[in-house]
Amino acid sequence: MFSLDHFKYNTQNQTASGTSNNEDLPSWDLSDLYPSPDSPELKNDLEKAHLKVEAFAANWQGNLREASGQELSMAIDLYQEISEILGRVGSYAQLMFATDSTDAKVAQFYQYINEQITNISSGTLFFTLELNRISEEELQAKLSNEALLSWKPFLDSIRVFKSYQLNDEIEKVLHEKSVTGRTAWSRLYDETLASMQVTVQDEKVTLGEALNKLSSADRQMRENSAKGLGESFNGNIRLFSLITNTLAKDKHITDEWRKFPRVDSERNCDNMIEDEVVDALVNAVTQDYQRLSHRYFTLKAKWLGLDKLQHWDRNAPLPDDTDQTIPWEQAKEIVHTAYNEFNPDMGSMIKQFLDQPWIDATLRPGKSSGAFAHPTVPDVHPYILLNYHGRNRDVMTLAHELGHGIHQILAAKQGYIQSNTPLTLAETASVFGEMLTFQSLLRSQKTPEQRRIMLSRKVEDMLNTVVRQIAFYQFERKVHEARQTNELLPDEIGNFWMETQQASLGPAFEFTPEYKSYWTYIPHFIHSPFYVYAYAFGDCLVNALYKVYQDGHENFQEKYIEMLQAGGTKKHKELLAPFGLDASDPAFWRKGLDVISQFIDELEQA
């Protein structure tokens, strides 16, 4: 049934898609998943999943309501086994595509695997739908079985969507058409970005290189890069607007069928977080724009000797900040030391990532311009992708993604379907890892000037994580709410972007016309609508959590590791309770934002 014969690859290239001129940077080796795209192991897994799904549907479809607690537990065990096989295959294809989405054969393989997974998994679609048709009383009776009780977090994560699910036929159509709908549009977006060439000072560079130049100490270089990016984004503006309009309308149609009350309701349900908690976060950050970003960027304009900052000055280094290139080996040592000082067990996990071919940091055309940690499956380690240019921010990105990696390894004990953490908590370990690395570096600074530079870098990272991401969230809300009635012109989308950016960054900035198209390169808008507030949630949470650690909270390290090990088995209230924190309390967000404000206070006094 599954023919992989036409996917032939040279297996010696599996560690890197394309050649790299960055010999000192690592490329990952995906053979821990599969030897090659045309390997018998991969083909066998697809066939195995297909047979298991057929048996699964024959045994359980229509029978879940009458099943005992023990029987229902056995069904979930098998569902997890099938999901894990498909997760392994899907991870392999996705990771290959991330390293070179411009390779036609890689893109073809990626699409083929997506279609196969969608076809196979449609046979299990009945399972979660039928679980939600079991009444609360019946389910509570079944949960008296100890084996089923261990699956309660999974059942809770399914039943949060109970009131929004449609009938089986509609759900099946939505599922099967996803490969020609959202997935196809997302792939078009990724391939367009990956193949984009930006002209900077008469030189053609990749999108990632051009974005990196926005952090150059040379203001003319920053301006040229910004204008080159604007030209490239505007050259594709009709396509990006079409993709955005199509996906926003597609989401609106589905949301209306499901009767979600808000444009972000599906994301909030998926994150197992109440709408009022999201609103409290967004309102707290918005009310603090002046105290945080407006105040800091007024300082930065003064430091740079400018009356007004242009948008290409946002990430400019300070005049005394040489931001010397940090070799990869030194970056590894910096991050490993920070984690090891906090907890030697975590230091050992970091070392394993850094010693094994689990990280792809090499710069190459066609590679994804962002960074991520992909958890794959519990019996295989996560993989980390980043583009290492040797800047301080790249070291922090390494610390961030390794935090994700540690979280994913620790949570793997919960099994494939319960190890996955809601986005709001998934950012905790990554942002905490950044904070550990920052504090370790801050302690090593020998002069007040070095400390000021370190603090300014951290404040900018925090503003990017908190203020910028909440502005992104507000932009998304404007786009999705407006798209419910009419298709949006590129100019209208650009106006929403400019409104939210001006409000968040403040009066220290001027925005030239090309900035109106800069929304186009943010992949979260396409792949994961309303993902972005999770970054702000994670940063504020970590600020509050780190303060608890600094205050000498008893057994903090042990409790922190237990929190990460919980994966998706606990909600945010349960996870934060051992530290005396509560995200539903408005004062919680003030604690996190106060940390940023206090750093700015110190910079004002320097």
Residue ending a domain, choose from 527, 554, 578: 527
pLDDT tens for each residue of 561-592: 999 999 999 988 899 999 999 887 878 888 88
User: Is residue 195 classed as helix, strand or coil in its secondary structure?
Assistant: helix
Same domain, 84 and 54: yes
DSSP 8-state secondary structure symbol assigned to residue 27: -
Cβ neighbour number for residue 2 with a 10 Å cutoff? 15
* Site of tokens 């198209």: 517
Residue 6 lies in a domain: no
Across the range 359-364, mean pLDDT stands at: 95
Q: What are the backbone angles phi and psi of residue 408, rounded to the nearest 5°?
A: -65, -40
pLDDT tens for each residue of 216-268: 999 999 999 999 999 999 999 999 999 999 999 999 999 999 999 999 999 99
Across the range 373-386, mean pLDDT stands at: 96
Please say if the pLDDT value at position 5 is more than 50: no
* CATH number for the domain harbouring residue 106: 1.20.140.70
Across the range 355-377, mean pLDDT stands at: 93
Confidence band, pLDDT 50/70/90 cuts, at residue 12: very low
Residue 574 lies in a domain: no
* Domains identified in the chain, total number: 3
User: Is residue 394 classed as helix, strand or coil in its secondary structure?
Assistant: helix
Identify the pLDDT of residue 17: 34
User: What percent of the chain has a predicted confidence (pLDDT) above 90?
Assistant: 78
Same domain, 448 and 509: no
* Site of tokens 């393989």: 109
Q: Chain-centre distance of CA 319, in angstroms?
A: 32
DSSP 8-state secondary structure symbol assigned to residue 320: T
Report the number of secondary-structure helices (H) and strands (E) in the chain.
27, 7
Residue 223 lies in a domain: yes
Please say if the pLDDT value at position 6 is more than 60: no
Cβ neighbour number for residue 452 with a 10 Å cutoff? 18
Asked whether the beta carbons of 296 and 603 are under 8 A apart, the reply is yes
Same domain, 446 and 332: yes
Pairing label, strands 203-206, 359-360: unpaired
Q: What is the dihedral of CA 436, 437, 438, 442, to 10 degrees?
A: 100
Same domain, 380 and 297: no
Same domain, 243 and 206: yes
Residue 573 lies in a domain: no
Q: List the one residue out of 33, 159, 161, 39 whose CA is nearest residue 95.
A: 33
Same domain, 294 and 396: no
Asked whether the beta carbons of 456 and 603 are under 8 A apart, the reply is yes
Across the range 75-88, mean pLDDT stands at: 97
Distance (Å, rounded) from C-alpha 10 to C-alpha 485? 50
What range defines the domain where residue 92 resides?
11-180
Residue 590 lies in a domain: no
Residue 382 lies in a domain: yes
Instruction: Determine the residue type at 551.
Output: D
Please say if the pLDDT value at position 2 is more than 80: no
State whether the Cα torsion 346-352-355-356 is positive or negative: negative
Confidence band, pLDDT 50/70/90 cuts, at residue 22: low
Same domain, 203 and 150: no
Asked whether the beta carbons of 548 and 474 are under 8 A apart, the reply is no
pLDDT tens for each residue of 450-508: 888 989 999 999 999 999 999 999 999 999 999 999 999 999 999 999 999 999 999 99
Confidence band, pLDDT 50/70/90 cuts, at residue 10: very low
DSSP 8-state secondary structure symbol assigned to residue 487: P
Q: What are 603's two structure tokens?
A: 């910079």
Distance (Å, rounded) from C-alpha 344 to C-alpha 333? 14
Residue 445 lies in a domain: yes
Residue 536 lies in a domain: no
Distance (Å, rounded) from C-alpha 249 to C-alpha 235? 23
Same domain, 244 and 288: yes
Same domain, 95 and 55: yes
Same domain, 304 and 377: no
Distance (Å, rounded) from C-alpha 26 to C-alpha 354? 9
Q: List the one residue out of 422, 98, 465 whose CA is nearest residue 277.
A: 422
* CATH number for the domain harbouring residue 457: 3.40.390
